[in-house]
Amino acid sequence: MNAEIVSVGTELLLGEIVDTNAVYLAGQLPALGIDLYWVSQVGDNQSRLVEVLGRALSRSDITLISGGLGPTADDLTREAIAQLMGEVIYQDAVLATELATFFAARGITMSASNLKQATLIPSARALPNARGTAPGWWVEKGKHIIVAMPGPPEEMKHVWQTAVLPCLRHCAQAVLCSRTIKLFGISESLAGEMMTPYFESPNPTLGIYAKPDGIQLRFAAKAADEAAAHQLLDPCESIVRALFRDKVWGIDDETLDSVLLNLLAQRQITLATMEFGTQGWLAATLAAGSNTDRYRGGLVAATIETLSEFGLERALIEGEDIEKLAAAMARRACLILGADCGLSIVESPTVVSTSKYATALYIGIDGPGICKTVRVTYSGGKERIKRLTTSAAFFEIIQALRCTA
Amino acid sequence: MNAEIVSVGTELLLGEIVDTNAVYLAGQLPALGIDLYWVSQVGDNQSRLVEVLGRALSRSDITLISGGLGPTADDLTREAIAQLMGEVIYQDAVLATELATFFAARGITMSASNLKQATLIPSARALPNARGTAPGWWVEKGKHIIVAMPGPPEEMKHVWQTAVLPCLRHCAQAVLCSRTIKLFGISESLAGEMMTPYFESPNPTLGIYAKPDGIQLRFAAKAADEAAAHQLLDPCESIVRALFRDKVWGIDDETLDSVLLNLLAQRQITLATMEFGTQGWLAATLAAGSNTDRYRGGLVAATIETLSEFGLERALIEGEDIEKLAAAMARRACLILGADCGLSIVESPTVVSTSKYATALYIGIDGPGICKTVRVTYSGGKERIKRLTTSAAFFEIIQALRCTA
Q: Point out which residues pair with B42 in neighbouring strands.
A: A38, B8
Interface of A with B in 366-395 (CB under 8 A): 377, 379-384, 386
Q: Which residues in chain B are closer than 8 Å to A192, comparing Cβ atoms? A: 71-73, 113
Give the ipTM of the model, two decimals please: 0.71
Asked if B264 and B295 count as a contact pair (C-beta separation under 8 A), the reply is yes
Nearest CA in chain A to B339: A306
Spell out the residues 6+ positions from residue B151 whose beta carbon is closer than 8 angstroms to its own: B7, B8, B9, B21, B66, B67, B68, B69, B70
Asked if B217 and B191 count as a contact pair (C-beta separation under 8 A), the reply is yes
Helix, strand, or coil (residue B1): coil
Distances (CA, A) of A105 to A98, A102, A108, A152, B322: 11, 5, 8, 21, 44
Nearest CA in chain B to A334: B309
Inter-chain touch A354–B105, beta carbons under 8 Å: yes
Asked if A36 and A95 count as a contact pair (C-beta separation under 8 A), the reply is no
Q: How close is the nearest chain B Cα to the Cα of A102, in Å?
A: 24
**DSSP H helix total and E strand total for chain B:** 14, 17
Which segments in chain A show pLDDT lower than 70?
A: 172, 351-357
Average pLDDT over residues B304-315: 95
Interatomic CA distance for residues A373 and A326, integer angstroms: 7
Of A229, A281, A308, A259, the closest CA to residue A389 belongs to: A281
Burial category of A327 from C-beta neighbours within 10 Å (exposed 0-12, middle 13-18, buried 19 and up)? buried
A43: contact with B, CB 8 A cutoff:
yes
Confidence band of B172 (pLDDT split at 50, 70, 90)? low
Inter-chain touch B72–A189, beta carbons under 8 Å: yes
Distances (CA, A) of B128 to A187, B150, B151, B158, B159: 21, 11, 14, 9, 7
Under DSSP, the state recorded for B352 is P
Q: How close is the nearest chain A Cα to the Cα of B351, in Å?
A: 19
Inter-chain touch B286–A303, beta carbons under 8 Å: no
Would you state the pLDDT for residue A31? Answer: 80
Burial category of A86 from C-beta neighbours within 10 Å (exposed 0-12, middle 13-18, buried 19 and up)? exposed
Q: Point out which residues pair with B362 in neighbouring strands.
A: B346, B375
Asked if A82 and A141 count as a contact pair (C-beta separation under 8 A), the reply is no
Asked if A338 and B309 count as a contact pair (C-beta separation under 8 A), the reply is yes
A183: contact with B, CB 8 A cutoff:
no
Q: Each residue of B110-151: pLDDT tens digit?
A: 888 899 999 999 999 999 998 889 999 999 988 899 999 999
Nearest CA in chain B to A24: B15
Q: Which residues in chain B are closer than 8 Å to A377, comparing Cβ atoms? A: 106-107
Asked if A208 and B72 count as a contact pair (C-beta separation under 8 A), the reply is yes
Nearest CA in chain B to A286: B279
Would you state the pLDDT for residue A357? Answer: 61
Interatomic CA distance for residues B51 and B396, integer angstroms: 54
Q: Which residues in chain B are closer than 8 Å to A199, comparing Cβ atoms? A: 72-74
Interatomic CA distance for residues A160 and A145, integer angstroms: 14
Task: State the pTM of this model.
Answer: 0.73
Interatomic CA distance for residues B245 and A381, integer angstroms: 37
Q: Which residues in chain A are closer than 8 Å to B295, comparing Cβ atoms? A: 302-303
Asked if A330 and A365 count as a contact pair (C-beta separation under 8 A), the reply is yes
Three-class DSSP labels, B183-225? ECCCCHHHHHHHCHHHHHCCCCEEEEEEECCEEEEEEEEEECC
A335: contact with B, CB 8 A cutoff:
no
Interatomic CA distance for residues A338 and A348, integer angstroms: 27
Would you state the pLDDT for residue B378? Answer: 84
Would you state the pLDDT for residue B356? Answer: 46
Q: How close is the nearest chain A Cα to the Cα of B212, in Å?
A: 15
Of B261 and A212, the one with more pLDDT: B261
Q: Which residues in chain A are closer than 8 Å to B302, comparing Cβ atoms? A: 283, 286-287, 292, 295-298
Q: What is the distance, to the nearest Å, from the Cα of residue B106 to the centroid of all Cα atoms in its chain?
A: 29
Inter-chain touch A300–B288, beta carbons under 8 Å: no
Under DSSP, the state recorded for B310 is T
- Cα dihedral sign for A384, A390, A393, A399? negative
Inter-chain touch B48–A38, beta carbons under 8 Å: yes
Distances (CA, A) of B243 to B147, B180, B211, B248: 45, 15, 20, 9
Of A357, A393, A383, the closest CA to residue B289 belongs to: A383
B136-141 and B124-127 beta bridge pairing? antiparallel
Distances (CA, A) of A216 to A195, A212, A251, A331, B49: 12, 10, 9, 33, 23
**Facing A189 at nearest CB: one of B16, B111, B338:** B111
Other CB atoms within 10 Å distance of the CB of residue B145: 21
Q: Which residues in chain B are closer than 8 Å to A24, comparing Cβ atoms? A: 15
Q: How close is the nearest chain A Cα to the Cα of B40, in Å?
A: 4
Inter-chain touch A284–B284, beta carbons under 8 Å: yes
Interatomic CA distance for residues A14 and A34, integer angstroms: 30
Confidence band of B73 (pLDDT split at 50, 70, 90)? confident
Of B222, B134, B235, the closest CA to residue B177 belongs to: B222
Of B188 and B240, the one with more pLDDT: B240
**Lowest mean pLDDT, pick from A11-15, A294-298, B40-44, B371-375:** A11-15
Q: How close is the nearest chain A Cα to the Cα of B267, in Å?
A: 18
Interatomic CA distance for residues B77 and B67, integer angstroms: 7
> How many Å is the Cα radius of gyration of chain A?
28
Would you state the pLDDT for residue A354? Answer: 52
Q: Which residues in chain A are closer than 8 Å to B73, comparing Cβ atoms? A: 192, 196, 199
Inter-chain touch A303–B280, beta carbons under 8 Å: no
Of B272, B160, B175, the closest CA to residue B225 belongs to: B175
Q: Widest CA span of chain A, in angstroms?
A: 84
Interatomic CA distance for residues B141 and B122, integer angstroms: 11
Of A71, A72, A85, the closest CA to residue A138 belongs to: A85
Interatomic CA distance for residues B241 and B256, integer angstroms: 17
**Facing A199 at nearest CB: one of B40, B71, B73:** B73
Interface of B with A in 81-120 (CB under 8 A): 105-108, 111, 113-114
B295-301 and B214-223 beta bridge pairing? unpaired
Interface-testing mutation among B4, B7, B41, with chain A (most A C-beta atoms within 10 A): B41
Q: Which residues in chain A are closer than 8 Å to B113, comparing Cβ atoms? A: 189, 192-193
Interatomic CA distance for residues B166 and B27, integer angstroms: 16
Confidence band of B355 (pLDDT split at 50, 70, 90)? very low
Q: Which residues in chain B are closer than 8 Å to A281, comparing Cβ atoms? A: 284, 288
Q: Which residues in chain A are closer than 8 Å to B29, comparing Cβ atoms? A: 15
Inter-chain touch A298–B309, beta carbons under 8 Å: no
DSSP per-residue string spanning A87-155: ---EE-HHHHHHHHHHHHHTT-PPPGGGGGGGEE-TTEEEE--TTSS--EEEEEETTEEEEEE-SSHHH
> How many Å is the Cα radius of gyration of chain B?
26
Asked if B267 and B405 count as a contact pair (C-beta separation under 8 A), the reply is yes
Inter-chain touch A192–B42, beta carbons under 8 Å: no
